[in-house]
């Protein structure tokens, strides 16, 4: 561990400055001493020499004149030079003339005779003898004893110097430390305080104060730029988090993070809203999540999690969560294993099982409802096609059965026992015809005659019949909405809808109850799951609410399927609600049911408002009466031989001249040969359609009347519109009297221009 | 000049110590030896005087011209003076000793020495010598104030000298301050006649 590593900078600086100062002091002192030691003798010699040179000049005259007094006075000037210990002047003969001793006690040590010439060192002294000259001639000798200064004296002198330098160093150091504190420590501490405050308050908008442009200033700048970057990133992060949160709330999504080893499962987002307030997982664990999932979906969920963890597979499954009131919510769970920090790239072989799974969970209840609805309507469509096909063939057969039964009844004597048998056959045929008609209604293949209808009026008119139908133990209530918009429906068909709903309500209330009809206007804007398939717009709603036993969910799902019935065998056909469905759908509306076991059932029928449709004059219904007769020529085109034969027989019995053909190809020459007044033709035939035939013959025979007959309302026929269907169309099966009446009506009507063909018929 | 005089006067208050030292070491004691010793010292002094006195350039015919030392009248040195200057130079010049007898013959002398007796006798010679750039040295203390320039003085047992600056300056000579510092008495212009 580095010493002083944790000390404040000023302590470190103080140490450094102190060490440097001490070193400087020691070096100074050592240098001084070394310098002194090295130079004390040469300096002494130079000093001595200079002094000698001066004295030699000054004492020359005294020596020359042998004036010892003057000589002594000259030497006495040496008293100003303490380092000169003694001096002596000798005359030319070497005898002592004058002497000087700094210390009088050492006077007698001066030799009487001059020592040898030159400079020599004698212990602590340097002795110099120099000749004294006057006018270039030796007049005597000067001898000087130079006392070298004692080392201790010199050292004490240097000690003073060193002490002064030391004091100066201490002063300068204190100044430096103060400067350091002001210039370095304080800004750094300010910076550190700012950083600490920011860490505590998480306020990245704070900026450190700058004290200068030095390194600390640069550090402050760098720190502030870092803060700015952090602030920007923090803002971006918060914005991104907020956007993610909003997006998750808008889509009812949550993200989830599962730690495989511990089973800890964390949620982010509004999981309370996602799961529902009471069915959110109780705790952040996988087990708590499994708890809230529908038991039937748990094994699949556990398998998916395991597969994702072990084989890095994707998690993708829809789960049910049962909320309060057994309300089922569908949640789509998606996710995959995550590597530390990033999602794995596909195709990379991963070693071992994953430790983390991440993903999203989303509420897809609405989507599930839509999918169910779509599936339902597709199913209904398929069944409708099947039923329509069957009904078409049945209609032909029933027409024949009913026709011949009718003819046979006329032929059998009134007292014959066979007459009753024949009537049974006819009754069964009528029932079968009713069934096929209902099937066609369900399949939306019925020829309809829609008119503007006020539902309030219609329901009110039905009231007496309903009262009779439902019996005394069921109360019928009607709550008509004010200013109800008209709707455009086939009134007869829609009466059947009301009657069917009533019968069903009656059967649901064996011990009595009430059935209430309500009408109201509503504007549908779209988006409601249970109204999926309905176009936005204005609707008239007819609600039929009973207080019966209610319908469970399973039954509700299949309620409108044909031949689906909960009634005992023989009591219901299973076509009532299917027909309702078909009729309402064909009218561009929607029928829904809301029910739970024990809570009664509410059927709601949405019909598009026809408030903006032009008003019509209601048609008068045909008056019943005996089969009308005539003598005109009728061309019958029908590929079914039995039906063709029946038609010929009925028409001939009414007095008409009948020519018949099995196909349009056969019919054309016949029409040319005979003066045909009316064409009675099937619509759908193998070679070409009855419509094409009619169009062609109208060109050749002006004023030709056409009556179509069909048990199968092809799209072509239906698409032609209501006028044609109501006037010139005969729905199979038909009774002989109906055939006779419609033929007469058609012949009596003014000839109408045929529809313009727009495409080649098939 | 008065200052110098005062300084040298003060010095004279403790000559006894110097005398004891000198008598012990040098032995320049006239009383102890015959005359020749005294005049040997005086000969040496004459030589030394030439070293501390500056003559005008006009006193010499050529730069190499010898310095001429003359004794006027009786010669007390015998051949001591010749011996003293033999082979020696002063101020880069060789020296010549000459015996002269009168002011006329003393022309060309740079130093003129005359004994006490000669001074009494030939007092009239001195004015004739003045203005000749000759250093006139005599033997009695009065000599320095009575026409002479330098006179030997016996202080105790030591031979010293006195200088008359007025006279030397009148003779165009300059005496070195080093020599003046050694003089017993220096007379200035204003102290004529009083020691």
Note the ipTM here. 0.73
Q: Which of A70, A108, A135 to mutate to test the interface with B (most CBs of B within 10 A)?
A: A135
Q: Rounded to 5 degrees, what angle do the CA atoms B105, B109, B111 make? A: 130
Task: Quote the distance between the C-alpha of residue A588 and its chain's center.
Answer: 36
Q: Is A137 on the interface with B (CB under 8 A)?
A: yes
Cβ of B26 within 8 Å of Cβ of A95? The answer is: yes
pLDDT the model gives residue A335? 92
pLDDT, mean over chain A: 82
Q: Which residues contact A494 (CB under 8 A, 6 or more apart)?
A: A453, A458, A583, A587
What is the Cα–Cα distance from A601 to A586, expressed in whole angstroms? 23
Q: Which of B38, B90, B181 to mutate to test the interface with A (most CBs of A within 10 A)?
A: B181
Tens of pLDDT, residue by residue over A613-663, are 665 544 444 444 566 788 889 999 988 888 898 889 889 888 899 999 988
pLDDT the model gives residue A258? 92
Cβ of A135 within 8 Å of Cβ of B25? The answer is: no
Instruction: Write out the E strands in A40-147.
Output: 84-91, 96-101, 118-122, 125-134, 137-147
Q: Please name the residue of chain A whose CA is at the shortest distance from the CA of residue B90.
A: A135
Q: How many Cβ pairs closer than 8 A exist between chain A and B?
A: 47
Q: Is the dihedral of CA A126, A131, A133, A136 positive or negative?
A: negative
Q: With a cut of 60, say whether residue A347 has pLDDT above it.
A: no
> Of the ranges A331-345, A585-599, A743-757, which is most confident?
A585-599
Phi, psi dihedrals of residue B54, rounded to the nearest 5°: -110, 125
pLDDT the model gives residue B190? 55
State what percent of residues in chain A have pLDDT above 90.
Answer: 13
Phi, psi dihedrals of residue A108, rounded to the nearest 5°: -75, -10
pLDDT the model gives residue B27? 41
A319 with A289: CB under 8 angstroms?
A: no
Q: How far is A93 from chain B (nearest CA, A)?
A: 10
What is the Cα–Cα distance from B141 to B185, expressed in whole angstroms? 9
List the 166-195 stretch of B: residues with Cβ below 8 A of A. Answer: 176, 178-179, 181-182
Cβ of B21 within 8 Å of Cβ of A135? The answer is: no
Please report residues of B whose CB lies closer than 8 A to that of A137.
88
What is the Cα–Cα distance from A526 to A98, expressed in whole angstroms? 144
Q: Please name the residue of chain A whose CA is at the shortest distance from the CA of residue B180.
A: A61
Cβ atoms within 10 Å, residue A237: 11
What is the Cα–Cα distance from B44 to B41, expressed in whole angstroms? 5
Tens of pLDDT, residue by residue over A250-294, are 887 889 999 988 989 988 887 777 887 777 788 888 888 888 888
Helix (H) or strand (E) holding A357: strand A356-363
Nearest CB to A66 within list B28, B91, B176 = B28
Q: Which residues contact A5 (CB under 8 A, 6 or more apart)?
A: none
Strand partners, A540: A521, A607
Nearest CB to B26 within list A61, A66, A70 = A66
A255 with A238: CB under 8 angstroms?
A: no
Alpha carbon separation from A759 to A691, A696, A721, B148, B173 (Å, rounded): 11, 14, 16, 181, 169
Q: How far is A138 from chain B (nearest CA, A)?
A: 11
Provide the terminal-to-terminal Cα distance of chain B, rounded to the nearest Å.
14
Helix (H) or strand (E) holding A284: none
List the 120-159 stretch of B: residues with Cβ below 8 A of A. Answer: none
What is the widest separation between alpha-carbon atoms in chain A?
A: 213
Q: Rounded to 5 degrees, what angle do the CA atoms A384, A389, A393 make? A: 145
Which segments of chain B does DSSP mark as H helices, in order?
Answer: 2-11, 15-25, 35-52, 80-85, 116-121, 125-129, 165-170, 177-182
Of A181-190, A402-411, A558-567, B180-189, the poorest mean pLDDT is in: A558-567
What is the Cα–Cα distance from A283 to B75, expressed in whole angstroms? 152
List the 72-101 stretch of A: residues with Cβ below 8 A of B. Answer: 72-73, 91, 95-97
Cβ of B26 within 8 Å of Cβ of A64? The answer is: no
The secondary structure of residue A82, as a DSSP letter, is T
Helix (H) or strand (E) holding B98: strand B93-100
Q: Is B60 on the interface with A (CB under 8 A)?
A: no
Long-range contacts of A220-227 (CB under 8 A, 24+ apart): A220/A187, A220/A191, A223/A191, A223/A194, A223/A195, A227/A198
Please report residues of A whose CB lies closer than 8 A to that of B160.
67
Tens of pLDDT, residue by residue over A484-543, are 999 988 887 888 888 888 988 888 888 888 999 999 998 888 777 667 678 888 899 999
Cβ of A61 within 8 Å of Cβ of B91? The answer is: no
Q: Which of helix, strand or coil describes residue A130?
A: strand
Query: In which region does residue A444 sit, left (phi positive, over 0), alpha (psi from -120 to 50) or beta (all else)?
Result: left
Q: Taking Cα atoms as reference points, which of B184, B191, B194 lies closest to residue B11?
A: B184
A634 with A658: CB under 8 angstroms?
A: yes
Low-confidence ranges of chain B (pLDDT < 70): 1-36, 122, 131, 189-195
Please report residues of B whose CB lies closer than 8 A to that of A89.
none
Q: Which of helix, strand or coil describes residue A362?
A: strand
pLDDT the model gives residue A504? 87
Label the pairing between strands A253-259 and A356-363.
antiparallel
Tens of pLDDT, residue by residue over B109-162, are 899 998 888 887 767 777 777 767 889 999 888 888 877 899 998 888 888 999
Strand partners, A590: A606
Q: Which of B18, B154, B159 to mutate to test the interface with A (most CBs of A within 10 A)?
A: B18
Please report residues of A whose CB lies closer than 8 A to that of B15.
69
Alpha carbon separation from B185 to B2, B20, B160 (Å, rounded): 11, 21, 9
What is the Cα–Cα distance from A264 to A90, expressed in whole angstroms? 119
Q: Please name the residue of chain A whose CA is at the shortest distance from the CA of residue B88.
A: A137
What is the Cα–Cα distance from A319 to B89, expressed in whole angstroms? 144
Cβ of B15 within 8 Å of Cβ of A69? The answer is: yes
Half-sphere exposure of A407 (CA within 13 A, CB side): 18
Tens of pLDDT, residue by residue over A714-739, are 444 544 443 344 447 777 777 788 88
What is the Cα–Cα distance from A318 to A301, expressed in whole angstroms? 9
A86 with A145: CB under 8 angstroms?
A: yes
Q: Is A523 on the interface with B (CB under 8 A)?
A: no
Q: Please name the residue of chain A whose CA is at the shortest distance from the CA of residue B8.
A: A70
Local confidence band at A451 (pLDDT 50, 70, 90 cut-offs): confident
pLDDT the model gives residue A529? 64
Whole-prediction pTM value?
Answer: 0.41
């Amino acid at each position: 561990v580095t010493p002083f590593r944790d000390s404040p900078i000023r302590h470190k600086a103080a140490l450094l400055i102190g060490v440097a100062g001490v070193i400087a002091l020691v070096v100074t002192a050592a240098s001084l001493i070394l310098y002194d030691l090295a130079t004390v003798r040469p300096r002494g010699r130079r000093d001595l020499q200079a002094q000698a040179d001066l004295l030699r000049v000054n004492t020359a005259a005294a020596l020359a004149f042998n004036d010892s007094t003057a000589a002594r006075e000259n030497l006495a000037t040496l008293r100003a030079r303490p380092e000169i210990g003694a001096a002596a002047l000798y005359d030319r003969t070497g005898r002592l003339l004058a002497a000087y001793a700094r210390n009088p006690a050492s006077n007698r040590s001066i030799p009487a005779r001059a020592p040898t010439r030159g400079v020599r060192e004698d212990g602590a002294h340097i002795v110099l003898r120099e000749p004294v000259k006057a006018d270039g001639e030796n007049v005597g000798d000067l001898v000087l004893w130079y006392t070298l200064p004692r080392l201790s004296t010199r050292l004490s002198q240097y000690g003073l110097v060193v002490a002064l330098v030391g004091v100066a160093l201490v002063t300068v150091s204190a100044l430096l430390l103060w400067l350091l504190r002001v210039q370095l420590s304080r800004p750094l501490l300010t910076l550190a305080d700012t950083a600490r405050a920011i860490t505590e308050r998480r306020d990245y908008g704070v900026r450190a104060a700058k004290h200068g442009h030095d390194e600390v200033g640069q550090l402050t700048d760098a720190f502030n730029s870092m803060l700015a970057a952090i602030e920007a990133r923090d803002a971006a992060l918060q914005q991104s988090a907020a956007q993610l949160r909003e997006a998750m709330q808008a889509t009812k999504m949550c993200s989830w993070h599962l730690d495989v080893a511990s089973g800890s499962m964390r949620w982010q987002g509004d999981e309370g809203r996602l799961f529902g307030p009471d069915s959110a997982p109780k705790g952040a664990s996988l087990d708590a999540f499994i708890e809230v999932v529908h038991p039937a979906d748990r094994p699949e969920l556990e398998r998916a999690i395991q597969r994702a963890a072990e084989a890095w597979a994707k998690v993708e499954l829809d789960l049910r969560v049962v909320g309060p009131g057994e309300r089922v919510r569908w949640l789509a769970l998606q996710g995959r294993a995550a590597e530390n920090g990033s999602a794995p790239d596909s195709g990379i072989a991963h070693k071992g099982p994953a430790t983390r799974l991440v993903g999203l969970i989303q509420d897809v209840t609405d989507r599930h409802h839509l999918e169910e609805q779509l599936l339902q309507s597709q199913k209904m469509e398929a069944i409708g096609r099947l039923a329509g096909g069957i009904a078409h063939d049945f209609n032909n057969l029933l027409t024949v059965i009913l026709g011949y039964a009718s003819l046979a009844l006329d032929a059998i004597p009134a007292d014959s026992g066979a007459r009753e048998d024949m009537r049974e056959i006819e009754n069964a045929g009528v029932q079968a015809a009713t069934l096929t008609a209902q099937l066609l209604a369900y399949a939306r293949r019925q020829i309809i005659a829609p008119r503007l209808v006020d539902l309030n009026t219609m329901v009110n008119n039905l009231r007496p019949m309903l009262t009779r139908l439902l019996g005394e133990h069921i109360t019928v209530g009607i709550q008509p909405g004010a200013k109800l918009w008209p709707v455009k429906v086939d009134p007869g068909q829609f009466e059947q809808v009301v009657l069917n709903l009533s019968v069903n309500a009656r059967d649901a209330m064996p011990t009595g109850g009430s059935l209430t009809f309500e009408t109201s206007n509503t504007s549908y804007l779209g988006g409601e799951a249970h109204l999926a398939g309905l176009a936005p717009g204005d609707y008239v709603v007819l609600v039929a609410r009973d207080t019966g036993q209610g319908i469970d969910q399973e039954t509700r799902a299949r309620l409108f399927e044909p031949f689906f019935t909960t009634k005992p065998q023989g009591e219901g056909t299973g076509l009532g609600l299917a027909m309702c469905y078909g009729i309402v759908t064909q009218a561009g509306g929607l029928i829904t049911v809301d029910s739970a076991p024990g809570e009664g059932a509410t059927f709601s029928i949405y019909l598009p408002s026809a408030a903006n449709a032009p008003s019509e004059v209601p048609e008068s219904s045909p008056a019943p009466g005996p089969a009308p007769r005539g003598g005109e020529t009728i061309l019958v085109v029908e590929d079914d031989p039995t039906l063709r034969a029946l038609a010929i027989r009925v028409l001939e019995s009414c007095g008409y001249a009948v020519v018949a053909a099995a196909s349009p190809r056969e019919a054309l020459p016949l029409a040319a040969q005979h003066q045909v007044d009316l064409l009675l033709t099937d619509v759908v035939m193998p070679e070409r359609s009855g419509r094409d035939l009619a169009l062609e013959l109208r060109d050749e025979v002006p004023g030709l009347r056409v009556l179509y007959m069909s048990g199968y309302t092809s799209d072509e026929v239906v698409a032609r519109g209501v006028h044609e269907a109501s006037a010139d169309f005969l729905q199979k099966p038909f009774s002989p009297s109906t055939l006779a009446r419609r033929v007469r009506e058609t012949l009596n009507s003014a000839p109408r221009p045929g529809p313009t063909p727009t495409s080649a018929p098939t | 000049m008065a200052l110098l005089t005062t300084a040298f006067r003060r010095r004279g208050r403790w000559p006894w110590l110097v005398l004891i030292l000198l008598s012990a070491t040098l032995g320049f004691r006239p009383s102890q030896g015959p005359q020749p010793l005294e005049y040997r010292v005086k000969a040496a002094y004459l030589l030394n005087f030439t070293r501390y006195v500056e003559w005008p350039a006009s006193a010499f015919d050529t730069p190499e011209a010898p310095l001429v030392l003359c004794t006027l009248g009786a010669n007390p040195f015998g051949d001591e003076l010749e011996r003293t200057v033999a082979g020696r130079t002063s101020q880069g010049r060789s020296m010549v000793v000459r015996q002269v007898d009168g002011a006329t013959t003393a022309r060309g002398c740079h130093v003129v020495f005359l004994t006490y007796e000669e001074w009494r006798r030939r007092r009239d010679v001195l004015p004739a010598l003045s203005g000749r750039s000759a250093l006139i040295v005599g033997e009695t203390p009065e000599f320095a104030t009575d026409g002479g320039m330098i006179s030997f003085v016996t202080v105790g047992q030591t031979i010293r000298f006195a200088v008359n600056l007025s006279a030397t300056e009148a003779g165009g000579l300059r005496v070195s301050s080093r020599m003046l510092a050694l003089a017993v008495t220096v007379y200035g212009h204003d102290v004529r006649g009083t020691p």
